[in-house]
């Protein structure tokens, strides 16, 4: 049996080894909760004499204020003793619960998403290339058990990696998340804290049976330890083999995902049907899941729903609905298009694929082809702009503006908000001016399509290709009543 001194040495060596493998150019940001794991991690890192070490504490506001205040004071005192710069970030009360409800996820998952977002923001702010968290070997096993009980895929059953990229390279450079304690059991961490006489905070939520991780730790793990003494090594070995197999599947999935074409608006997607149907079912389901996550912004999707949609298409269905989207087989393409027609406070959205009359509340949208040869020159025509056939593609989304909307006109991107201001559109009418969008972005802004308001302005997307003669007219009634 290892002594406490051996445990201290093991912890020190493990952390030093992990940092050496990852490298830490640009500094390290340590996620410090005040608990035993992060206190030990911070103690070891401070002992290494790193000059570019910073500390971040995130207040989740899920526990009593008195407990949080004592925890913050302990954290300030310890960082002060170590002479380390400390930043305390506070999540607004209710934000975690709101995120959990909005995304259909648990409180733990919602808190984790917000926490990692704060860690990434702060790391970029201070130029830190590494974010260190204090997950240990017991956390890893509890994570694997939780994911197994939750019917996870191979990605989940690989467990937490020791290191991964945090955030996107596209958004401000690369920050890596590092878990230097991931191979260290909780018993070694406790021995280290005891030997060093470290003061730690006690999180009352760790005793709550509401959270799955606590149930696993308090009820399941003791039974496994007693009845199946070798379960830990067995689970670690299985996770390792799944990780190796997962690298192959991840490569195939990445290759297939690269063949999906997303619209500039990010609201629709398409890919070659033969590519999609040529994949094994397991990869089709994973590919569709990844695509739908991007389109819907939802991280948790029903595996059964994804699988049933894939099977419907492979068995010959020409269309099926999934999460307010319609999967349509058209010629050689599989298209994934939004199907919701709605009007709500502050906005509207219609989807049209040809001539149509659509209604939502008091609004009516009329779309029709206007053929030049059918015009009667003896009758005074109503002046209205229309989309030239050939300059756009169906389906068309006809919607109200969103923050950041732009249209390509005159060789540059014009902001819709500035355009409406230049036209002198009254503020109360701007939410009703329709934007017409196809899979390649915004086609037109049609203020003159609003009946009864007297606006005559419109703006079309740059287009230099061939035209086919007809014009597609869009008229909106009742938007402002």
Q: Same structural domain for residues 156 and 78?
A: yes
Q: Same structural domain for residues 346 and 331?
A: no
Cβ–Cβ contacts within 10 Å for residue 274, how many?
10
Alpha carbon 64 to its chain centroid, in Å, reads 30
| b/e 298-320 (16+ beta carbons within 10 angstroms → b) | eeebeeeebbebbebbeeeeeeb
**Nearest CA among 159, 150, 149, 140 for reference residue 220:** 149
Q: Same structural domain for residues 388 and 425?
A: yes
Among residues 336, 357, 377, the one where a domain terminates is 336
pLDDT score of 87: 96
Confidence of residue 342 (pLDDT cuts 50, 70, 90): very low
**Nearest CA among 214, 206, 209, 208 for reference residue 145:** 214
Q: Same structural domain for residues 358 and 408?
A: yes
Q: Quick one: tokens of 2?
A: 């290892």
**Nearest CA among 285, 324, 278 for reference residue 304:** 285
Calpha distance 17→11 (Å, rounded):
10
Instruction: Give yes or no for residue 450 having a pLDDT over 60.
Output: yes
Q: Is residue 214 part of a domain?
A: yes
The dihedral through the CA atoms of 21, 27, 28, 29 has a sign that is: negative
pLDDT score of 285: 94
| 8-state DSSP, 381 | P
Q: Same structural domain for residues 312 and 355?
A: no
Calpha distance 389→396 (Å, rounded):
13
Q: Quick one: tokens of 212?
A: 């799955």
| b/e 148-161 (16+ beta carbons within 10 angstroms → b) | eeeeebeebbbbee
Among residues 175, 205, 240, the one where a domain terminates is 240
In the chain, the percentage of residues whose pLDDT exceeds 90 is 47
- Per the structure, the complete domain to which residue 273 belongs is given by 262-336
Say if residues 180 and 132 touch (Cβ distance below 8 Å): yes
Q: Same structural domain for residues 352 and 376?
A: yes
Its pTM stands at: 0.60
The CATH number given to whatever domain includes residue 166 is: 3.40.50.620
Among residues 290, 316, 336, the one where a domain terminates is 336
Confidence of residue 462 (pLDDT cuts 50, 70, 90): very high
Calpha distance 311→320 (Å, rounded):
10
Q: Same structural domain for residues 100 and 226?
A: yes
Q: Same structural domain for residues 373 and 321?
A: no
Q: Same structural domain for residues 306 and 395?
A: no
As a whole number of Å, the CA-based R_g of the chain is 29
Q: Same structural domain for residues 324 and 356?
A: no
Confidence of residue 375 (pLDDT cuts 50, 70, 90): very low
In the chain, the percentage of residues whose pLDDT exceeds 70 is 91
Segment 460-464 long-range contacts (CB within 8 Å, at least 24 positions apart): 460/385, 460/387, 460/391, 460/409, 461/391, 461/407, 461/408, 461/409, 462/408, 462/409, 462/410, 462/411, 463/388, 463/391
Q: Same structural domain for residues 231 and 96?
A: yes
Give me the mean pLDDT over the 276-284 stretch: 94
Q: Is residue 251 part of a domain?
A: no
Give me the mean pLDDT over the 101-114 stretch: 87
């Amino acid at each position: 049996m290892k002594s406490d001194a051996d445990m201290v040495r093991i912890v020190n060596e493990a952390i030093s080894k992990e940092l050496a493998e990852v490298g830490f150019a640009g500094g390290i940001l340590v996620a410090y909760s005040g608990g035993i794991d992060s206190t030990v991690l911070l103690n070891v890192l401070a002992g290494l004499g790193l000059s570019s070490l910073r500390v971040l504490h995130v207040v989740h506001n899920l526990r009593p204020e008195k407990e949080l205040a004592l925890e913050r004071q302990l954290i300030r005192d310890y960082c002060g003793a170590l002479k380390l710069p400390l930043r305390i970030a506070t999540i607004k009360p209710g934000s975690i619960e709101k995120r959990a409800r909005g995304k259909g996820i648990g409180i733990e998952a919602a808190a984790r998403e917000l926490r990692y977002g704060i860690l990434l923001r702060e790391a970029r702010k201070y130029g830190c290339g590494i974010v260190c968290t204090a997950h240990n070997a017991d956390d890893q096993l509890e994570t694997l058990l939780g994911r197994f009980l939750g019917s996870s895929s191979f990605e989940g059953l690989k467990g937490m990696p020791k290191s991964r990229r945090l955030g996107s390279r596209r958004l401000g450079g690369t920050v890596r998340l590092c878990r230097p304690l991931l191979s260290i059991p909780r018993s070694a961490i406790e021995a280290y804290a005891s030997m060093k006489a470290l003061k730690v905070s006690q999180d009352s939520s760790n005793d709550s049976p509401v959270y799955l991780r606590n149930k696993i730790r308090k009820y399941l793990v003791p039974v496994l330890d007693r009845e199946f003494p070798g379960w830990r090594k067995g689970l670690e070995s299985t996770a390792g083999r799944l990780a190796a197999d997962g690298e192959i599947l991840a490569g195939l999935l990445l290759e297939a995902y690269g063949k999906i074409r997303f619209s500039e608006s990010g609201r629709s997607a398409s890919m070659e049907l033969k590519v999609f149907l040529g994949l094994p079912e397991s990869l089709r389901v994973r590919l569709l899941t990844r695509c739908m996550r991007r389109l819907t912004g939802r991280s948790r999707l029903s595996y059964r729903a994804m699988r049933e949609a894939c099977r419907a298409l492979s068995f010959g269905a020409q269309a099926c609905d999934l999460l307010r989207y319609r999967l349509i087989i058209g010629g050689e393409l599989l298209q994934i298009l939004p199907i919701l027609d709605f009007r709500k406070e502050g906005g509207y959205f219609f989807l049209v694929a040809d001539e149509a009359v659509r209604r939502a509340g008091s609004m009516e949208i009329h779309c029709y082809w206007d053929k030049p040869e059918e015009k009667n020159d003896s009758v005074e025509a109503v002046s209205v702009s229309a989309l030239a056939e050939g300059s756009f593609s169906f389906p068309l989304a006809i919607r109200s503006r969103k923050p950041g909307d732009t249209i390509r006109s005159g060789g540059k991107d014009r902001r819709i908000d500035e355009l409406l201001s230049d036209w002198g559109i009254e503020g109360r009418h701007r939410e009703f001016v329709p934007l017409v969008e196809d899979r390649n972005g915004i086609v037109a802004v049609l203020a003159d399509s609003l009946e009864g308001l007297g606006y005559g302005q419109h703006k079309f997307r740059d287009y230099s290709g061939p035209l086919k003669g007809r014009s597609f007219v869009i008229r909106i009634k009742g938007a402002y009543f």
